[in-house]
Amino acid sequence: QVQLQESGPGLVKPSETLSLTCTVSGDSVSSGSYYWSWIRQPPGKGLEYIGYIYYTGKTNYNPSLKSRVTISMDTSKNKFSLRLSSVTAADTAVYFCARERGLFGIAVPGNNWFDPWGRGTLVTVSS
């Protein structure tokens, strides 16, 4: 069974860089069948897509965050990571990682869905 687990600091100071890692078990981030994604949820609010990475290194980012976001992958450790720079209080959220997949194991933008999700980790931006 595929499981994803987020990890990283729960508190980040304003203007610094938020760094999180998602460890995948039961599947390989090197699989060409999936994209590996980050999604966040501010307290009491809805879900916001951050971006994804494919095993080739191809990435896609939410245009509203693109200038501050970097998603990378470490295939040797079966992990992928998120870096969000110049954070403010508005970046306080629960951050989820998720596997993005499509029908017949083929991930094609527009044809995919998120399953499974990690449990999420709360990151608070405060001095």
105 binds other proteins, rule: CB under 8 A: no
The verdict on 62 binding other proteins (CB under 8 A) reads yes
Are 58 and 52 within 8 A, CB to CB?
A: no
Task: Evaluate whether 91 touches 102 at the Cβ level (below 8 Å).
Answer: no
Question: Does position 10 bind other proteins by CB under 8 A?
Answer: no
Answer yes or no whether residue 117 interacts with other proteins by CB under 8 A: yes
Q: Which amino acid is at 61?
A: Y
Measured in whole angstroms, the distance separating CA 110 from the mean position of its chain's CA atoms is: 18
Binding region for other proteins (CB under 8 A) out of 15-23, 25-33, 80-88, 105-113: 105-113
Q: Could you give the C-alpha distances from 107 to 31, 43, 74, 99, 119, in angstroms and in order?
A: 11, 30, 20, 10, 23
Q: Which of 10, 43, 46, 57 binds other proteins (CB under 8 A)?
A: 46
Residue 16 Cβ vs other proteins, minimum distance, rounded to whole Å: 25
Interface residues with other proteins (CB under 8 A)? Answer: 37, 39, 46-49, 51, 60-63, 66, 96, 103, 109-120
